[in-house]
Amino acid sequence: MTNMMTKLKTAAAKRAQFNRTYNELRSMSRTVAWDLGMFPEDAYEVAYRHVYGR
């Protein structure tokens, strides 16, 4: 039971981190995103790879 709770807490923490990262990337101006070598439309993929590593 504790293992299941640990997995749920970890999943919730990762989702919260994903949401924060995604929202931060989406709020950047297009110019800043280009300076970082990405397109604003790539925010979902970049945030997902950052948090989940896939």
Angstrom distance (rounded) from CA 27 to CA 19: 12
Angstrom distance (rounded) from CA 18 to CA 29: 19
- The confidence score (pLDDT) of residue 2 equals 85
- The confidence score (pLDDT) of residue 54 equals 82
| 24-54: pLDDT as tens digits | 999 999 999 999 999 989 999 999 999 999 8
Domain with 44, as residue range(s), is 2-52
| 1-14: pLDDT as tens digits | 789 999 999 999 99
Angstrom distance (rounded) from CA 54 to CA 50: 8
Q: How many domains does the chain have?
A: 1
Q: Would you say 25 and 40 are in contact if contact means Cβ atoms under 8 Å apart?
A: yes
- The confidence score (pLDDT) of residue 1 equals 74
